[in-house]
Amino acid sequence: MFAFRIARRAFVKLFGIAGFLLALIGGALIGYSALTGGGLSPMSLFLRLVEGFLGLWAIIAGVIIYTGPMRFGGILAVIGGIILIIITSFATPAILVFVAGIIGLVGAAIKPPWWKFWKR
């Protein structure tokens, strides 16, 4: 039983790290594509601004998955990923952010209920 608890903690930490890294990479790629995107029309500028904001949102959600309540960070990443998938029409970074949110939610489900915050 003790070994099961140790393995459970290890899996939760691995899920937290994986969710953080996927959200970080996806958010950075979304931000990069928003900065280097072309077009000077008002609609193009607005979409690039929204993409940049959602890229920052994804990075913050990844940090929350790793350091704070995993479920909240996972929900933020899933919502941001769904919006990015719709805006970017299934771009790879948007899928990375969505998968990071799913991993955060799975990690929160595995985490024992007595953990209030992430224990390092």
Two tokens, residue 66: 């790793």
Confirm whether 106 is domain-assigned.
Answer: yes
Confirm whether 24 is domain-assigned.
Answer: yes
Mean pLDDT for the chain overall = 88
Confidence (pLDDT) at 8: 76
User: Does 1 have pLDDT greater than 80?
Assistant: no
Most confidently modeled range among 38-42, 51-55, 87-91: 51-55
Confirm whether 71 is domain-assigned.
Answer: yes
Confirm whether 117 is domain-assigned.
Answer: no
Confirm whether 47 is domain-assigned.
Answer: yes
User: Does 10 have pLDDT greater than 90?
Assistant: no
Enclosing domain of residue 74: 2-110
Q: Considering only the C-alpha atoms of the chain, give the largest distance between any 2 of them, rounded to a whole number of Å.
A: 61
What is residue 76's DSSP assignment?
Answer: H
Confidence (pLDDT) at 6: 75
Confirm whether 51 is domain-assigned.
Answer: yes
Provide the number of structural domains found in the chain. 1
Query: Is the model's pTM score more than 0.85?
Result: yes
Counting every residue written for the chain, the total comes to 120
Q: Model confidence at 37, in pLDDT bands (50, 70, 90)?
A: confident
Residue 98: CA count within 13 A, CB half-sphere: 13
The whole-angstrom separation of Cα 7 and Cα 114 is 16
* Over residues 66-76, mean pLDDT: 91
